[in-house]
Homo-oligomer: A and B are copies of this chain.
Amino acid sequence: MGEKVNAVEPYELSLHEAAEQIREKKLSPVELTESVLGRIKAVDERVGAFVTVMQDQAVRAARTAEKEIADGAYRGPLHGVCIAVKDLLDTAGVLTTSSSRTRADHVPDTDAAVVEHLEAAGAVIIGKTHTHEFAYGVITPTTRNPWNLDHIPGGSSGGSGAAVAARMCQGAIGSDTGGSVRIPSAVCGTVGLKPTYGRVSRRGTTSLSWSLDHLGPLTNSVHDAALMMDAIAGYDRADPATRDVPVPRHTEQLTAGVENLVFGVPRNYFFDQLDPEVESAVRAAIEQLAGLGAELREVEIPYPDLYMPAEFGILVPEASAYHQEALRKVGDLYEDDVRVLLEVGELMLATDYIKAQRMRTLIQQGWRDMFDGLDAVLAPTLPAVAARVGELAFTWPDGEEEPVINSYVRTSAPGNLTGLPALSVPCGFSAGGMPIGLQIIGRPFAEPTVLRVGAAYEAATDWSDRRPAGLS
């Protein structure tokens, strides 16, 4: 179940704790970075979260931060804290592989927009984390779950989830096309936010599916996610999906509580097939929020049969369009699972893709109507905890089997198809000790509201303070 402990080593600090100590000059960025590098050295051989540990660059960045802060030029809460970045995002002069043999030697010239923003905020980029190859899967086979190394860390941002959970960074960036921030967050017991579509620029990030891709933070607390959002959110002319909507202070409502907020609780879809342990943890979390003063309303999720065909009908051919040329040139360097999906996408007809996009429009209209009067919708992030390594399907209480990827994407895809912000926060553990996630889905650009709900829940519980014990 994990243990509640007080941080003794700097690497154990959450982002806002480390930031506070750095601001007060009780902790130096160099001290923190060296502690984090030590932690990586101690545990990452077992976890496998990192493709590249940016040891030298990180120490240099930490020294710069230390000097700036000593000189009175404190930049804010990210200054001098260690952030890991999914290896899908370009880092100038640093290997960026997308965890693919096709990009084994790829070193970009420029930084992704999000990396630029993090560096401008003074963050120390500690390394590049593993993804399921090109973000096209939910397993991340290179990496293990810190809560139990026999289990997967989820994906595609599995390296980011594992790195945060194992305290190998104060926060990490992931991408989410069909759940790839929320899946590793839920199964690794971290907080994870998929922001509104268009809230965070994807410039310099390898695309999986341009109309479904989102970037967002994975952290050890809701507060930390809010601090990262403050740094990375905003319009970018170079990403045509971004919207020129004012960026709020994401921390502003964190202590506002949930009194008089109205939450939708789905009577269908999200609770149709799921692990009873997950269901009871999520329902308990929802009741706890009601106990904090929120009103619950049962809602009917619209078009339950359209999510999976729309999600895969869009994602699969978009991925193939992106990879088409590389598939011709270096097709044999792709992993089999990804190559097969890319080949399937090349056979799909335009009319089927267009119908999937039209399903998506129906779904969006349905959610808009369903959201009438609601502040958020509460649901399980996933129907199950982390699969065991090699486990291909879950078996539900009625005996039905469902592939792991379908199970995880099923409850995640609504967030991608609607583009609505969706936060996963830890809400308990299975009997086997694996984390469970509560999903909080909000209105467009209402990140402050979903963070507020997550923070209220987090403050009333101590799930986010638990640590995987097995690694220490």
Contact = CB atoms under 8 A, between A and B. Distances in A.
Nearest to A355: B321
Q: Is the interface of A mostly helix, strand, loop or mixed?
A: helix
B364 A240 contact: yes
Interface string A261-305: 000000000000000000000000000000000000000000000
A425 to B, nearest CB: 31
A349 B350 CA distance: 5
| Interface core residue of A240, A353, A361, A364 (most chain B CB under 10 Å) | A353
A196 to B, nearest CB: 16
A202 to B, nearest CB: 13
Interface residues of A, number: 24
Contact of A358 (B210, B317, B349, B351): B210
Nearest to A322: B354
Interface in A308-358: 317-318, 320-321, 324, 345-355, 358
A365 interface: yes
A347 B347 CA distance: 10
A345 B318 CA distance: 18
A355 B322 CA distance: 9
Contacts of A317: 349-351, 354
Interface in A226-242: 237, 240
A354 B323 CA distance: 12
B350 A352 contact: yes
Most buried by B among A317, A355, A361, A365: A317
B240 A365 contact: yes
A351 B240 contact: no
Contacts of A320: 350-351
Contacts of A354: 317-318, 321, 353
A347 B349 CA distance: 7
Interface string A352-393: 111100100100110010000000000000000000000000
Contact of A321 (B240, B347, B350, B368): B350
A185 to B, nearest CB: 29
A136 to B, nearest CB: 15
Contacts of A353: 350, 353-354
Contacts of A361: 240
Contacts of A237: 365, 368
Nearest to A352: B350
Nearest to A238: B365
A361 to B, nearest CB: 5
Contacts of A348: 349-351
A346 B349 contact: yes
B210 A321 contact: no
23 contacts: A237-B365, A237-B368, A240-B361, A240-B364, A317-B350, A317-B351, A317-B354, A318-B354, A320-B350, A320-B351, A321-B351, A321-B355, A345-B351, A346-B349, A346-B351, A347-B349, A348-B349, A349-B349, A349-B350, A350-B352, A350-B353, A353-B353, A353-B354
Given A237-B368, A346-B351, A349-B350, 8 more contacts: A210-B358, A240-B361, A317-B350, A317-B354, A320-B350, A321-B358, A346-B349, A348-B350
Q: Which 10 A-B pairs have the closest CB atoms?
A: A317-B350, A350-B353, A321-B354, A321-B351, A348-B350, A350-B350, A240-B361, A320-B351, A318-B354, A321-B355
